[in-house]
Structure 1
Amino acid sequence: MGFRYIILFAAVFFLSSSAIFAKLAEAPSGIIAFYRLLFAALALLPALLLRREERDQLLQLAGSKLLLGIASGFVLALHYVLWFESLKFTSVASSVVLVTLQPLFTILGSFILWRERCSAAAMWGCLLAIGGSIVIGWGDFAISWRAFLGDILALVAAAVIAGYFLIGQEVRKSLAAIPYSVLGYSSGAFFLGLYSWACGDAFVGYSTNTWLDFLGLAFVATILGQVIFNWLLKWLAATVISMSILGETVGTCILSFFILGEVPTLQQFAGILMILLGIGIFLYYKDRGVLKNEKDIQ
């Protein structure tokens, strides 16, 4: 169990590079998300083709499981569109703070679907970590109808990404991480491609550095981050993974300091401590039933 938590925290750190690469990439948001998922799917494809058992799992997938796999890609694409669109109307900090409400939606969804409960102490830890995110972004909240629209979009994006992890927890019961990721990312790239085409965005003509940022998003943030989450969904509940992703804010602050030279303020530092303490409390007091099947690691 401890080993999987170490992997989880490492994946959260790699995921933290997402905001850095996205900020450095000089391309429309839909295009950035499109190439992120497309390159990740293409990178995972050889591993899928070389593993007969996992390849057969995907080929034999049908009915509701297949629809859920495709739906995971659509939900992921929808999350990116909603989140990136929210940034056009409200501040980055306001948008990110609202997106970090995803654990609340995941906890609610897990209770409705599987009657999965959290102890009172774990919920206090969740609220403390979310409070840390609010402390980090508090000074950047804007009050206007335009900002309110952006905030609503960010809030819906939080609910949508919670749905992605809940779908993954169900599909991963019968599908290994790599075929699940390939199916979800390729279908997500398809939907994002349609969206970018409808917006009239160019698919080529970007600088070398931007293409490198696309690759960084695919290989570092997605394969070393999000794919690991998909793998862990077989043993860890969606609520645990969703909650741990709050640590992305901490990782982003650290990477921003070393890569972008952005020094955290005292307020941000206090928020970071709140997030780390809240995550620690949640994981410590979460029901022991979080750990899933101990056998057949894939």
Structure 2
Amino acid sequence: MDSGKAPPRWLPFLVLGVGLLAISFGAILARFAQGYGLPSLTIATLRLGLAALIITPLALWQSSRTLRALNRGQILLTCGAGFFLALHFATWISSLEYTSVASSTALVTTNLLWVGIASFLLFGDRPSRLMLVGIVISLSGSGLIFWSDSRASAPGSHPLLGNLLAIVGSWCFSAYLLIGRRLRASLPLPAYVWLAYGSAAMLLVLACQSSGTPLSGYSDAAYLVALGMALGPQLLGHTSYNWSLKHVSPTFIAVVTLGEPVGSAVLAWVFFGEAFALWQGVGFVMLLVGIYLAARGER
């Protein structure tokens, strides 16, 4: 899955596009899983746990030597990545219980702002002027979506709590991306994905046990939805982002994630009848324009 040769310049952008499409189904499938009675913590655990199990044979086949040679620093970074990834899914999926898909996905994808600030402060990354323009337009579109959604009646009973959980999920995913940048510099993709997803899943299993949240006893349909989340949004979607970490900046990946509210809101309208207003549509257009400009400005 990784090779020594640099890929064509267009390939990371194509991979990110496919990943974005897959990840847009994450909120929809999570809502279906909640409808089948799965607690949010259980959904997060099954999503990451099943993804880690599915990729285990490939990781051991391609990267067994690398995994045996892990040093202490890599192990600590892996635990950190797993911790923030577990917390990201636990908080974000919980947010879907209290607020709309549009608000939740718009707020959880504000990691662009946090990744850009942290990349500048920690690594000295200076985005180009065109990328900065794309960031501003994208964040403005995200804010417009949230403002428009907040004016309408929220489907959840505690939209403020749901919005706060989504923002916390954004902070956690930002930390996960930055740690992943360090790990991906020295680890092949199968090894990194297996370690990150597996460690996050183990932390979530411990959280389920300590909170008394059951992982079994649900319907077959509920487990099929969880499997769909593992195969689509997680393995295809998030793994696309992880592969791209070696070829484009984490700031640009954060920009791409801002397209998630567009796909998720359209899908929420199709499956759940969550209509979006005119200003939300304007915000979606701004998100896409910002992503395009950031892609042009990516160095």
Q: Same fold (TM over 0.5)?
A: yes
Residues in 2 aligned to 1:21 and 1:92: alpha-carbon distance in whole angstroms: 11
Query: Which range moved further: 239-248 or 93-102?
Result: 93-102
Letter aligned with residue 4 of structure 1: P
1:122 aligns with 2:139: no
* Structure 1 unmatched ranges of 5 or more: 289-298
Query: Which range moved further: 116-125 or 85-94?
Result: 85-94
1:59 aligns with 2:71: no
Query: Which range moved further: 266-275 or 55-64?
Result: 266-275
- Residues 96, 255 of structure 1: alpha-carbon distance in 2 compared, 3 angstrom cutoff: closer
Letter aligned with residue 22 of structure 1: A
Contact 2:109 2:254 in 1 (8 A): no
Give the equivalent residue in structure 2 for 1:32.
43
Contact 1:172 1:233 in 2 (8 A): yes
Q: CA deviation at 1:128?
A: 1.3
Letter aligned with residue 111 of structure 1: F
Contact 1:100 1:130 in 2 (8 A): no
Give the equivalent residue in structure 2 for 1:21.
29
Residues in 1 aligned to 2:160 and 2:235: alpha-carbon distance in whole angstroms: 34
Query: Which range moved further: 217-226 or 122-131?
Result: 122-131
Q: CA deviation at 1:120?
A: 3.3
1:111 aligns with 2:123: no
Residues in 1 aligned to 2:269 and 2:111: alpha-carbon distance in whole angstroms: 26
1:140 aligns with 2:149: yes
1:256 aligns with 2:281: no
1:240 aligns with 2:252: yes
Give the equivalent residue in structure 2 for 1:3.
11
Normalised TM-score (structure 1): 0.87
Structure 1 moving runs of 4+ over 6 Å = none
Letter aligned with residue 147 of structure 2: W
Give the equivalent residue in structure 1 for 2:199.
187
Residues in 2 aligned to 1:224 and 1:256: alpha-carbon distance in whole angstroms: 20
Residues in 2 aligned to 1:175 and 1:150: alpha-carbon distance in whole angstroms: 35
Quick one: percent identity of the two aligned structures?
36
Q: CA deviation at 1:135?
A: 2.2
Contact 1:91 1:141 in 2 (8 A): no
Give the equivalent residue in structure 1 for 2:214.
202
Residues 159-185 of structure 1: CA deviation (Å, up to 9, x unaligned)? 211010111111001101111111111
Residues in 2 aligned to 1:158 and 1:22: alpha-carbon distance in whole angstroms: 17
> Alignment partner for residue 80 of structure 2, among 43, 61, 71?
71
Q: CA deviation at 1:87?
A: 4.9
RMSD (Å) for aligned C-alpha atoms: 2.2
Contact 2:27 2:93 in 1 (8 A): no
Give the equivalent residue in structure 1 for 2:231.
219
- Residues 68, 40 of structure 1: alpha-carbon distance in 2 compared, 3 angstrom cutoff: same
Give the equivalent residue in structure 2 for 1:42.
53
Q: CA deviation at 1:214?
A: 0.3
